[in-house]
Amino acid sequence: MKTRLILSLVATLAIAAIAPSIHAKDYSAQELQERAIHRRAVEAAIWGMPAVNYERMLQAAIDNGAKLNQVVYWSRPVNSRNQTLTPNPDTIYLNPFYDTSKGPVVVEIPPADADHVIVGSFDVAWQNALADVGPAGEDKGKGAKYLILPPGYQQKAPDSYIVLQSETYRGFVILRSNFKSRSDADIQSAVAHGKRVKVYPLGGNPDSTVFVDAYDKAFNATIPYDATFFELLDRFVQAEPWLTRDKVMIDALKTIGIEKGKPFKPDVKTKTILADAVREAHAVVALKYEKGFVPAFFEGTRWSVPIPPETRDGLGNAFADPNQYGLDGRAVMYHMAYFSPKVFGGGQFYILNISDQSGHALEGSKTYRLTVPPNAPIEQYWSATAYDRETHALIVGMSRPSLASNDSKVQKNADGSTDIYFGPKAPAGKESNWVPTDPKRQFELIFRLYGPKKEFFDKKWKLPDIEAVR
């Protein structure tokens, strides 16, 4: 009993000792409110990353003259005037932005043939995938009429459609019309095949499809890490229904001034708090990105997919696991990329790298070599693309952002391997195999495989690390 009394006395004294420090700071009502705004704004930015990502892309399309239920496309492979997040500069892009608020929307995909194939995915505005397109997708490369239904749609869908139930009114379809080579004829042929895509309301005229060419036009969809981030998030909240899994955010968003059906009008002080909060959220997400390259995709290398499994799986099944959401991983993904496939590794697969073989960040002022081994296990092509490390977009002002196996000018080694050089200047005699970098900025790499085969996932083929060249 005596021992118990002594222990109780010690505990009481310990609590008394720390109590003054707990209450040393007495916040005013205004300070508490400002701290709440900052705290909840950080979480709102992490939660809302894919939504703001979507709104940026849609606004860029509108700024280029497009409307919802039209097809934005690029009549040539994209260059750095396209500032979407990590786009593929070795294909022809077609991006219908759909809107089902007035009823179901039809998207027709043409069948693949010996010279043409369209691959891609249907994504809701949250960028969760509804279905994949192409040989690895729902249509199996045979082409199809996809019917996108709005949230809560009760009527029976007509037969002969692949029916997709969207959880948001709006979304987009990312389509890539792949070309056989970079010749003008093959590129024009890929564009012509892509323009066989049709987008129209159910019961409407397929020939009413409108195509808007955004090639070589400013198309800025990078994430704004300032107070305008929340203006875009408010735009999304006003347009889309609340999903059950996200209702926990309703009060958090009210705290920062975002409420469905009401205008978002933060005062100057609140804007300052919001700007600071989104910068903090960005730093948190960027740190998670940098730490997400472990484990490596290929053992002993620094290539990885820095997105956790719960996020990768959840994006394809609408986060069906009741014990997982993967919000942090989702923020990581959509701060540096856009779109998710229904099946990761089905029609395409990407691996990323932000450092050389020694673990040092990739510097645009240095020269590096990546040796792509021969006989890559793919049905279509591979590509290696350099992006700005800070913005995750194509490096501004460069003459070429990537090299790919569908480029006939790329030189191969005697054993069938390909050396790709990244740096501010081309090594002597290697101009055809060189991707320029900005000497004042860091960069990162994405290696893409279209139509990856089983041997790739079995690791029977291995991409080595990037080597610094003296």
In angstroms, how far is the first alpha carbon of the chain from the final one? 75
The answer to whether the beta carbons of residues 323 and 114 sit under 8 Å apart is: no
The number of helices, as runs of H, and strands, as runs of E, in the chain is: 10, 20
At residue 163, the 3 state secondary structure works out as: strand
Q: Does residue 86 form part of some domain?
A: yes
Residues 73 and 213 in one domain: yes
Residue 23's pLDDT band (boundaries 50, 70, 90)?
A: low
Question: What is the rounded distance in angstroms from the CA atom of residue 276 to the CA atom of residue 37?
Answer: 11
* Burial degree of 264 (CB within 10 A; 0-12, 13-18, 19+): middle
Residue 191 has pLDDT above 60, yes or no: yes
**What is the token pair recorded at 322?**
């009741």
Alpha-carbon distance of 328 to 381, in angstroms, equals: 32
- Sequence-distant (≥ 6) Cβ neighbours of residue 148 within 8 angstroms: 98, 100, 104, 105, 106, 107, 122, 130, 164, 166, 171
pLDDT digits over 143-162, tens only? 999 999 999 999 999 999 99
* Cβ-contact 443, 356 below 8 angstroms: no
Looking at residues 119-124, what average pLDDT do you find?
A: 97
The residues that bridge with 121 in the sheet, in sequence order, are 132, 174
Answer whether 172's CB lies under 8 Å from 54's CB: yes
Whether the Cβ atoms of residue 230 and residue 274 lie closer than 8 Å to each other:
yes
What the block records as the tokens of 55 is: 């709104």
> Average pLDDT of 109-137?
96
The yes-or-no verdict on residue 39 having pLDDT over 50 is yes
Please spell the DSSP secondary structure of 114-173, one letter per residue: SS-EEEEEEEETT--EEEEESTTSTTTTS-EEEEEEPTT--SPPPTTSEEEE-SSSEEEE
Whole-angstrom distance, CA of residue 140 vs CA of residue 255: 47
Q: Is residue 34 part of a domain?
A: no
Q: Is residue 83 part of a domain?
A: yes
Instruction: Please give the residue range of the domain that contains residue 395.
Output: 345-469
Q: Exposed, middle or buried, 262 (CB in 10 Å: 0-12/13-18/19+)?
A: exposed
Arithmetic mean of pLDDT, 283-290: 97
**Other CB atoms closer than 10 Å to residue 320's CB: what's the count?**
9
**Residue 169, both tokens:** 């009114």
Helix (H, G, I), strand (E, B) or coil at 231: helix
Quick one: pLDDT at residue 46? 98
Phi, psi (deg, nearest 5) at residue 422:
-120, 130
Is residue 401 domain-resident? yes
To which residue do tokens 């009060």 refer?
251
CATH code of the domain covering residue 132:
2.60.40.1610
Asked whether residue 180 is domain-assigned, the answer is yes
Residue 22 confidence (pLDDT) above 80: no
DSSP-assigned states of every residue in 384-401: EEEEETTT-SBPTT-S--
Buried b / exposed e over 49-67, threshold 16 CB at 10 Å, is bbbbbbbbbbebbeeeebe
d(CA 276, CA 41): 9
Spatial distance between the Cα atoms of 7 and 10, rounded to a whole number of angstroms = 5
* Domain end among 217, 234, 268: 217
Tell me, what CATH number does 360's domain have?
2.60.120.600
- How many structural domains comprise the chain? 2
Residue 441's CB is within 10 A of a number of other CB atoms, namely 16
| 121 domain residue, yes or no | yes
Tens-place pLDDT, residues 212-235: 999 999 999 999 999 999 999 999
Distance CA 444, CA 387 (A): 5
Q: Which helix (H) or strand (E) holds 43?
A: helix 29-47
Both tokens of residue 95? Answer: 């991006």
Q: Are residues 213 and 72 in the same domain?
A: yes
Position 435 scores a pLDDT of 98
Mean pLDDT of 383-387: 98
* Residues 6 or more apart in contact with residue 201 via CB below 8 angstroms: 69, 102, 103, 104, 105, 106
Classified as helix, coil or strand, 434 is: strand
310 domain residue, yes or no:
no
Answer with the one of 156, 182, 217 that is the final residue of a domain.
217
Could you say which of 191, 217, 243 is where a domain stops? 217
Neighbour count for residue 292 (Cβ, 10 Å):
18
- Per the prediction, the chain carries an average pLDDT of 94
- Give the residue-averaged pLDDT of 18-37: 77
The residue behind tokens 């002002």 is 397
Residue 19: pLDDT over 60: no
Tokens coding 215: 């090639």
Judged by phi (left if over 0) then psi (alpha if -120 to 50, else beta), residue 239 lies in alpha
Q: Tokens representing 162?
A: 């692949």
CA–CA separation, 68 vs 169, rounded Å?
A: 11
Of 286, 333, 348, nearest in space to 126 by CA: 333
Cβ 109 vs Cβ 138: under 8 Å: no
Angstrom distance (rounded) from CA 71 to CA 38: 39
What tokens does 431 get? 């101009």
| pTM attached to this predicted model | 0.92
Q: Give the pLDDT band (50/70/90) at residue 25.
A: confident
Domain-located, residue 359: yes
Quick one: what percent of the chain has pLDDT higher than 70?
95
